[in-house]
Structure formats: C-alpha cells, structure tokens
Amino acid sequence: MSRESNLDQLTNWLQARYHDQTEYLQATSEIARDVIDVFNANEAYKQYDVLRRLSVPERIIHFTVHWLNDDNQVEIHQGWRVQHSGLIGPYKGGLRFHPTVNESILKFLAFEQSFKNALTGLPIGGAKGGSDFNPRGRSETEIMRFCQAFMTELYRHIGPNTDVPAGDINVSGREIGFLYGQYRRILNQFGGTLTGKDISFGGSHVRTEATGFGLIYMLEAVLETHQTPLKNKVVGISGAGNVALHAALRATQLGARVVSLSNSRGALLNESGFSENSLTQAIETKDQHNNILKALSDDGHGDYQADASPWQLNMDIALPCATQNEIDEPAAQKLVDHNVRFLLEGANMPCTTRAHQVLAENKIVYVPGKASNAGGVAISGLEMSQNAAFRRDSYSDIDTTLKHIMRSIHQQCLQEGQRDGEINYAKGANIAGFRRLADAIVMQGL
Ligand code: GLU
C-alpha cells in the first residue's frame, strides 16, 4: 500500500470514530505524518498494526465527583483518567483541573505523554487525567474537599506499578498533598503512587523546577548546535505558572534577558529583563495572589497590560508555557515580525497546525513539547525510583541527571530528525518515541 493510502486510511479511521475530538485528531495526525515512512518500512510494525494501536488509548476511566462546597451545597464535576499506553512502564502523567478539560483534550495529552515519556528513556508509560473543576476563586478547604472526593473515585485505578499521576495545570504541590493524603487514608499505604509530592513525604528534589529548568537545558543544547550562546539572548515567555516562572528564572540565571510573561488576562512586559529576585519572589508567592503578574507590576517589576500579548517585543527566543493551541497563525506571524529565531514549547501542543507552517516557512527552529518539556515527567520518573528504594538523592545529583536526560532527548531528535544539514526536531522526537513504543508492541505480541 502506498505511503498516502496508509496515512489516509488511519486518518479516515480516526475521523470516522472521533470526528468531534479536534485536539486528539490534531495530535494523532501530526505524529502519523512524521512516522509514516518508518512504519511503512517495517514489516513487523505493519503486521502488528502499531500505528493504529498506538493512536487509541488502552483504557479511559470516566467518573463523577460529588463534593460539598463551603455553603454546604453539593457540587458535581466530571473526572477522567486516560491510560494511554502501559507498554514500557506504569501509566504516568499529570492531572489537570480546568473548566476546558474534556475527553478529547485528555486523550491528546495522554497520547503525547506516551511519546514524551518514551523519549526520557525511563520505564514510564503514558496517561493523563483531570476534571472540569475550576479551582480559581475556590477556598483552600473547597479545593481540599474536591481533591479528596476526586481521589475517592480514582484510587482504585492507580498504584505504584499501575498508574502514577502527578500535577499539571492547576494541580501542584498543594493539590498533590491533598490527593496523596486521601489515597494514603483509604489504602493505609505509604508509597510512590503520586509524584510531585512535597519533599517531606517522599517528594524529589528538583521536581518543582524540573519542567522549566529542563526546557532551558534543552534550549542550551539547541543553541550549542546552532553555535550561538544563551547569554544576552532576549527571551519571551507566555504563562505565569510553575513551568513559565522556573524557565524564566533559569534563563535569567544563565545570562538571558526575559522580557515577558503572561496569563489569560494580560501580559507583564519588561524590556530590560526581569531580575532574578523578582522571579524568585513570584515563585514563592504565586499561590497567595489572584494575579501574580499584576502584583509584580505593582511592585515595579514590569508593566502589566490587560489583554496584551507576550509576543509584542523583539526577541530571539519564544517559550510558550501556557496551554494548548495558544499560538495560532496570527500569533506565529507576530513572532516572525519580532525576529524570533527559536521556539521551544514549555506547554503541551501550544502551536496550532497552521502556526507550525508559519514557523517552518520562516525557518524558525521549533522544538515540540514532548522533547522540550519532558524534564518534569523525567524527574517524576526519578521520584518513583527513589520511592521504590526508600531513598532520596541530592539536589545536585538530580539536577545533573536532568541535564543528561534533556541532552539525550536532544541527541535522539538529531539522530532521527537531521537530514542534509537541516534539523526537524518535531519529526526526530516523533520517530524516536514511536520506535521505542512500536518495538515494545512487537516484542510483547498482540
Ligand atoms: N504534567 C506534566 C507533563 O505534562 C508532568 C507529568 C508527570 O510528572 O507525570 O509532562
């Protein structure tokens, strides 16, 4: 069968079943396009139908969460866990609490997670979960009760060798603590079933910083390959969460000038670059503020503009660290107009398919999230092994391992994505992750 007909067949098959799941179809078709030649060239891959089998999650758990708000009223939310692939290790991936969460988004995130986790080289499968619960504006006791009710439904489906959730958007140390407390209470077991735990009860050093720091370690490797230093480069960042702030901090510590951060309500701009102190302050106090960027602006650390874009200043490097599809075609064009030369994704799938085309046409070096933001889940993998061995490794050992893992991912991207002097990081990452998963399918049989 020709290259196109295999690709068309898969696309049509997915379209017919999941036509309304747009993010999921976007993610699966982007990977399929990149790996189709590798698939077609391998008889075992075709015989075992690996592409179609990898496109569909192994299991989707859907439940309802009933909980009591501060006015003693019952609230009802939906919860999911998409266990995409357990081929190379326990299902592994974050939980997201956000009103936009639905099955399509979690399926695409779980699918991407399997490829990302494969790239880390660690024994971790891929999953994602979450709820349409919106923690914004909720009291801490409401968030705690919601987390407890959510875990009361989820606990039976997870375990240290089965499925190990972690954080994602709106789920960080505090929520992981509440979720873990409930899990431990129900099972009377202290183990590594969640990662991102506080250091005082089994968490790992560097886990909080890992996604943002890992993004900057990947950036260093990419810039080295392009023979240009990070020092004095101008960097724009979208987002104001854990990933964005730690990326901004590490880039600043390494001599770059970070000029923007953003949230859903506006952007904080500072052409001379944020100071290390202001970023540390933001990291330490973000949970106490409704709008940390506005608070930084009020303290004289930049100019917060409502409804503004983080891409409106000239910059060398763009790091989208907010959410999926935040960079559409006009935003990509804005990056081109402001001289961006490198774009590394801190968020999962922040660029639309049209944005990718604009970046490619303008020769912007593009690194997909599954490679550049894998640092977080990689350190989660190390948290799992530390928990299993009742051990805690030092901060500097973990930070060094994080650098090695990011460099190894960079190397895999080059190995699979470099042709005739051109580097296609997205294709490289997709092929490297695909080979590891596809080989596992073949070896494990049907
Ligand atoms: N949510 C993060 C990600 O997208 C981390 C997942 C984890 O640590 O399991 O990779």
Residue at 331 is within a domain = yes
Q: Are residues 221 and 349 in the same domain?
A: yes
User: Do residues 265 and 333 both lie within one domain?
Assistant: yes
Is residue 1 scored above 70 in pLDDT? no
Q: Is 214 in the pocket of ligand 1 (CB under 6 A)?
A: no
Considering the domain boundaries, does residue 11 fall inside one?
Answer: yes
C-alpha of residue 169 to centroid of ligand 1, in Å = 10
List the residue whose alpha carbon is closest to atom 9 of ligand 1: 93
Alpha-carbon distance of 222 to 77, in angstroms, equals 42
25 and 148, same domain (yes or no): no
| Domain assignment present for 441 | no
Are 355 and 242 members of one domain? yes
Q: How far is the CA of 244 from the centre of ligand 1 (A)?
A: 14
Each residue of 106-139: pLDDT tens digit? Answer: 999 999 999 999 999 999 999 999 999 999 889 9
Cβ–Cβ < 8 Å for 374, 116: yes
- Average pLDDT, integer, range 327-332: 97
Last residue of a domain, one of 341, 363, 385: 363
Whether ligand 1 lies within 6 angstroms of the CB of 195 is answered as yes
Whether residues 334 and 319 fall in one domain: yes
Q: Are residues 100 and 88 in the same domain?
A: yes
> Are 282 and 226 found together in one domain?
yes
- 4 — pLDDT class (breaks 50, 70, 90): low
Q: How many structural domains comprise the chain?
A: 3
pLDDT digits (tens, 9 = 90+) for 291-320: 999 999 999 999 999 999 999 999 999 999
Ligand 1 atom showing the smallest separation from residue 116 Cα: 10
> Domain holding 130: CATH number?
3.40.50.10860
CA 165 to ligand 1 center in whole angstroms: 8
Assess if residue 355 is contained within a domain: yes
Residue 49 sits in the same domain as residue 67: no
- Closest-CA residue to 130 (of 118, 111, 147, 152): 147
What's the CATH number where 280 sits? 3.40.50.720
| Domain final position from 157, 190, 223 | 190
Token couple for 126: 């891929």
Average pLDDT, integer, range 29-38: 95
Helices (H), 61-134: 103-119
- The finding on whether 94 has its CB within 6 A of some atom of ligand 1 is yes
166 lines ligand 1 (CB under 6 A): yes
167 CA from centroid of ligand 1 (Å): 6
pLDDT tens digit sequence for 125-183 = 999 999 999 998 899 999 999 999 999 999 999 999 999 999 999 999 999 999 999 99
On whether both 35 and 66 belong to a single domain, the answer is no
Asked if residue 398 has its Cβ within 6 Å of ligand 1, the reply is no
Please tell me if the CB atom of residue 112 comes closer than 6 angstroms to any atom of ligand 1.
no
Given 133, 161, 190, the domain boundary residue is: 190
Is residue 10 domain-resident? Answer: yes
Q: pLDDT confidence of 3, banded at 50, 70, 90?
A: low
Is 427 inside any structural domain? no
Residue 290 confidence (pLDDT): 87
Q: Are 46 and 162 in the same domain?
A: no
Q: Which tens digit of pLDDT belongs to each residue from 403-432? A: 999 999 999 999 999 999 899 999 999 999
- Catalytic residue positions, numbered: 128
Are residues 17 and 97 located together in one domain of the fold? no
| Assigned domain for 372 exists | no
Q: 65, 56, 154: which is closest to 108 by C-alpha?
A: 56
Structural contact between residues 316 and 294, judged by C-beta atoms closer than 8 angstroms: no
What is the residue range of 175's domain? 59-190
* Probe residue for ligand 1, chosen from 168, 176, 208, 242 as the CB with the greatest number of ligand atoms within 8 Å: 168
CA distance 44 to 196: 38
* Residues 157 and 227 placed together within one structural domain of the fold: no
Q: Ligand 1 pocket, 376 CB below 6 A?
A: yes
